[in-house]
Amino acid sequence: MLFGPNLSDIEKEIENADSYQAFYEASLYHDEVSGANAWKEEDDSSAYDYQMIRKRVERIKAARASRDAPALMSILHEGIHGNLGNIANPLLNKKAKIGTKKLIQEFLDEVCAALDFIYNADENEVDFYEKLSFFDETNHSYGQSCLMLSGGAGLGFFHAGVVKTLLAHDLIPKVVSGASAGSIIAALIGTRPKDELADLLTAENIYEHFRGWSRFKGVRQDSFFDSTRLENALIELFDLTTFDEAYEKTGISMTITVSPADLHQHSRLLNHKTSPNAIITQAVRASCAIPYVFSPVYLKAKNQQGDVIPYIPNRQFADGSLMADLPFERLARLFGVNHSIVSQINPLAAPFIAGGKHKTDSIKELTIRHATTLAKKNSVYFFDVLESLSKNDALRRGIHKVRSIIEQQYVGDINILPKRKLTDYRHVFANPSLDSLTKLIKSAEKACWPHIDMIRRNTQISKTFRKHLKDLKKRESLLLSHNTHPYREMNREASNDAASGQV
């Protein structure tokens, strides 16, 4: 591919790229012309502790060179975590289109090579159960990434393009959450193997299932729209599958968020840990129940006999994005998550994006963020006062929902955002056309491309941990099934001794 030396020409090539490969090649050329490649070669930077990282790389290399698995285990045990020396500082991602400091990439590669070495170490030197304990404990302390899919009503199929792109690069995390429209795509991730998921995430398949989801029925007491077609689509996709059944099938920890329809309940996260027997179809239907658009619903579950029964009887639930669009803190407690990838299409989030988590060295961005944070805090205080003064339950519920919308955090560590245009909002409650879905999914794919390299780096170590831990647990299961677990052998010998009177 030939470019002129002008950076603006290369940026146009990047903007107009029609495939990830074209985007990637143009971005690499931009780094060459802009001088970013020279920046990558230099270790030093005030944005991270390059001296610590350099020393850690040297220690790992030395231990590997001497084939000292116990030493490698000690080095990794003592302080490895996702942002060691601030290597995940967002400022480091602003200098180059592709890649980061060569030293940081070398550190990531060396850690993964060390994990491979430990996994393959001679078990006369490192016992199987030492390996299992090391990978289990260190993986837990290191943490993992999650993918959170926001609400967005008719715009929510943007997430299909994001997931399709991440899937193509094998970058779907094992922890996924979805709210409102995002719950549909999250449930697809959690219930489908990879090859089947890829086939479902096309504009044609989505159109076939959801082309008639928006059907106005008039001004009624509970909702303006008829949910029958949406419910039929969800039943066709998920049937009576429970969260536990889905997890057993895919190994994905998939969470659906729902909000209470009354005042005295908190939002709930439904997944294989908190609600294993809850039925996914009803959970997604509840999460999509935007107030006054669709009616709230009662959740369902399966009992031990497989019969469908009420779940949390006498409580109705509605749109998950109202109170838990991106439930990062609770996912962190449940699944050890410490890094988030966010696909954010929620129209309600647009005014709050400026108050993001990322560090910045721009005075203008810092000023905008500070002003946004102050506005949020003042608004929350105002609605707290209104709620405390109100005596009408319906009014208090409405005030509480608005307060929840304002108070939430709508961004994560890596944020995949659409290029918003006012004309897009006409699709929020409209039935999609095949053309509109095709454009929406394509725009999501392009929005995802600049983040692929960063996501790959940020998940490189956790994927290596997960791969080896999975294999070790599979071996452990096999050992247990053949009664070769050492503790089981000890217990069996003790039982035999007791039976023969030797104890």
Helices 181-191 and 243-250 pack at an angle, to 10 degrees, of 50
For residues 439 and 442, what is the distance between their CA atoms, to the nearest angstrom?
A: 5
CA distances from 178 to 125, 161, 345, 367, 415 (A): 45, 15, 12, 31, 15
Are the C-beta atoms of residues 36 and 97 closer than 8 Å to each other?
Answer: yes
Which neighbouring-strand residues pair with 299? 311
Q: Please pick, among 150, 180, 183, 253, the residue that the annotation labels catalytic.
A: 180
Strands 268-270 and 253-260: antiparallel
What's at 165, amino acid-wise? T
Please tell me what DSSP assigns to residue 176: E
For residues 464 and 112, what is the distance between their CA atoms, to the nearest angstrom?
A: 6
How many beta carbons lie within 10 A of that of residue 226, not counting itself?
Answer: 18
Q: Could you tell me how many residues make up the chain? A: 503
Place of tokens 């095949």: 434
What does the H/E/C string look like for 18-37? CCHHHHHHHHHHHHHHHCHH
319 belongs to the catalytic site: yes
The tokens for 123 are 């078990």
The tokens for 21 are 């490969």
For residues 210 and 230, what is the distance between their CA atoms, to the nearest angstrom?
A: 7
Are the C-beta atoms of residues 325 and 409 closer than 8 Å to each other?
Answer: no
What's at 311, amino acid-wise? Y
Strands, E, within 384-475: which ranges? 414-416
What does the H/E/C string look like for 435-459? HHHHHHHHHHHHHHHHHHHHHHHHH
How many beta carbons lie within 10 A of that of residue 480, not counting itself?
Answer: 12
Q: Please pick, among 31, 226, 319, 325, the residue that the annotation labels catalytic.
A: 319
Are the C-beta atoms of residues 225 and 215 closer than 8 Å to each other?
Answer: yes
Are the C-beta atoms of residues 332 and 312 closer than 8 Å to each other?
Answer: no
Active-site amino acid positions: 180, 319
